[in-house]
Amino acid sequence: MAQPTDEAIATAEPATAEPAPAPARRDRTRFLRNPKTLTGLVILAGFVLIAIIGPWIAPHDPSARGPELLQPPSWQHLFGTTQTGQDIFSQILVGARGVLVVGFTAALIAGVLSVIVGVTAGYLGGLGDDLLSSVSNIFLVIPGLPLIIIIASFLPDTGDLAIAAIIGLTGWAWGARVLRAQTLSLRNRDYVQAAKATGESTPRIIVFELLPNLTAVIASGFIGTVIFAVLANVTLAFIGVADISDWNWGTVLFWAQSNQALAQGAWWWFVPAGLCIALLGTALALINFGIDEFINPRLRSPGKEDRAVRMRIGFTPVVRRDYPRDAAPAAAAPPAGPDAPDRPDAPDRPDGAEAPDAPEARGGTAPAGAADRPGTAGTDTGKESHR
């Protein structure tokens, strides 16, 4: 469910992700200092480690049957045993690899497709854009999970890579849509125009001028797809579509369900796998929040330097440095027409770079211009989200 959030932000703020080179470096450390991102990265690293060394550190063979049937957790079997005496802890350890491999492979495929479709559509415009965005909208509207289930159950081979390919080939539309919106807002920037004027070729402009500025959006889409792919993969294994001879967390749940673990009160059989899925999903979502806040400064929770501003009841909790950024252009220039693709001077300024605290200036002049803003600012949003 992290994806709707990204979408909302990308459409609402079509112009924010353009860090100028110098402050970008400072902002990057800010990205890593964000406690959410850090927590997410640490948990993810833990799972990656398990995925790599899991099969070696597993205390038992996950498929080997043992004499202790359906035992609750003990020191011998940390997560208990199954009905046939298999060690669930080992199954979880060994299964991590399949989950992560499918998640990242699928996201890689979907990411590449979404960049190709989204950036091309956004940059070219015209008929090509109409065609490509219709295709991605169609893929967006067709319910993904049932489609994946149908395709997977028709396939004779449903190993990890086949599943990853299906998820990747059907799950690129979200990313393409967000990237297209972002590219639309970038393509008329001065530096792109300048590159065009100096005669750079279109592929070169896309690769060297546009893509670097889309990195954050691409990364956020990638992680969103990993979350979706992990869930889809586990689901496919759980309902028995994917190959159940490979261990992954969904397979554990499949055996738990088909052996009536619930009715026998064997909670240890299905709780650990679900917790692992949820923990992995949370870690990825946290990283995505970090990226979102990096792209959209308004979402940042007040850090140490912002604590000086106290939130009061009856007052919009606005961090003070935001005022001049939004208010100044509105006061200086008339509101942009509804067809202006972006407001070039409004949100580009890197956070706090040259924003003197000037609430007095705002008080006098801004409201007059600001009264018209809802319409114009909102029109961008409305158009973007409904094309």
* Residue 17 or 192 with smaller CB distance to other proteins: 17
Kindly compute the dihedral angle of the four CA atoms of residues 28, 33, 37, 40, in this order, to the nearest 10 degrees: 130
Q: Closest separation between CB of residue 209 and other proteins, Å?
A: 27
Q: Which residue has the tokens 């496919």?
A: 236
Which among 180, 187, 167, 106 is positioned nearest to 136, based on CA atoms? 180
Tokens encoding 235: 């689901």
* Residue 52 or 278 with smaller CB distance to other proteins: 278
**Binders of other proteins among 284-323, rule CB under 8 A?**
284-286, 289, 292, 296, 298-299, 301-302, 311, 313-319, 322
Size of the site for other proteins (CB under 8 A): 90
* Residue 198 or 316 with smaller CB distance to other proteins: 316
* Residue 111 or 250 with smaller CB distance to other proteins: 250
Q: Which residue has the tokens 């219709």?
A: 134
| H helix or E strand, kind and range, residue 184 | helix 173-186
* 67, 126, 146, 356: which one binds other proteins (CB under 8 A): 146
CB 77 within 8 A of CB 68: yes
Binding mask 150-179 for other proteins (x = CB under 8 A): xx-xxxx-----------------------
Beta-carbon contacts of residue 187 (< 8 Å; ≥ 6 apart)? 122, 123, 125, 210
Q: Which residue has the tokens 């495929």?
A: 109
* Residue 60 or 250 with smaller CB distance to other proteins: 250
**Binders of other proteins among 102-121, rule CB under 8 A?**
none
CB 361 within 8 A of CB 29: no
- Asked if 246 is part of the footprint of other proteins (rule: CB under 8 A), the reply reads no
* 231, 291, 328, 346: which one binds other proteins (CB under 8 A): 231
Q: Closest separation between CB of residue 156 and other proteins, Å?
A: 6
Tokens encoding 44: 């993810």
